[in-house]
Amino acid sequence: MKIVLVAACALVDVDGRVLLAQRPEGKQLAGLWEFPGGKVEPGERPEDCLIRELAEELGITVKEPCLAPLTFASHTYETFQLLMPLWICRRWEGQVQGREGQKLAWVRAGRLRDYPMPPADEPLIPVLVDLLGPGR
Ligand code: C5P
C-alpha cells in the first residue's frame, strides 16, 4: 500500500486557540475540519512543504521555532497509508486568510472535538489539549 506523507500544522494564536481549516467541496473528506497543511512532494523536505503549504493556503510565512514536529499521526485509509507529522507554530508573518476559499476557525483545544475531523487528525487532539490546556 502506498504511503502518503502530509505535513500539518497547529497554528496557535496569542489566546492559545488553534486554527482549523474546512476541507472544501469536491475534495476527499469535504466538510471535515483539519489542521492546515498538505502533501510532501517528491524530494521535498517536510519542513519546506509545511512552509510552502501554509503560504499557499493561508498566505503566511511561518517562523523558525516551529520547525521541529511535535508528534505525528498515522492512519490507514482505503487506498493509502497516511503519515502526518504535526508542527506547532505560534509565530508567523502575514494575516491568516483562507486563500483557497476554505472556511477557517480558531478553536480552543478543549473545543476541538466539536469539529468533525478526518480520522487521521482526531488522535492529535489530546496531544494539543495536553500541551495547551483546554483553554477558557
Ligand atoms: O489535502 P490533500 O487532499 O492533498 O491530502 C491528501 C490526503 O491526506 C487527503 O485525501 C486525506 O485523506 C488526508 N489528510 C488527512 N488529514 C489532513 C490532511 C490530509 O487525513 N489534515
Tens of pLDDT, residue by residue over 19-37, are 999 999 998 999 999 999 9
List helix spans (H) across 1-134: 46-58, 125-132
Longest CA–CA span in the chain (Å) reads: 42
Q: Residue 65 pLDDT > 70, yes or no?
A: no
Confirm or reject: Cβ of 28 under 6 Å from ligand 1. yes
Q: What is the pLDDT of residue 66?
A: 78
Question: Can you give the pTM of this predicted structure?
Answer: 0.95
Out of 79, 82, 86, mutate this one to test ligand 1's pocket (max ligand atoms within 8 Å of CB): namely: 82
Handedness of CA 64, 65, 71, 73 (dihedral sign): negative
Q: C-alpha cell of 74?
A: 498515522
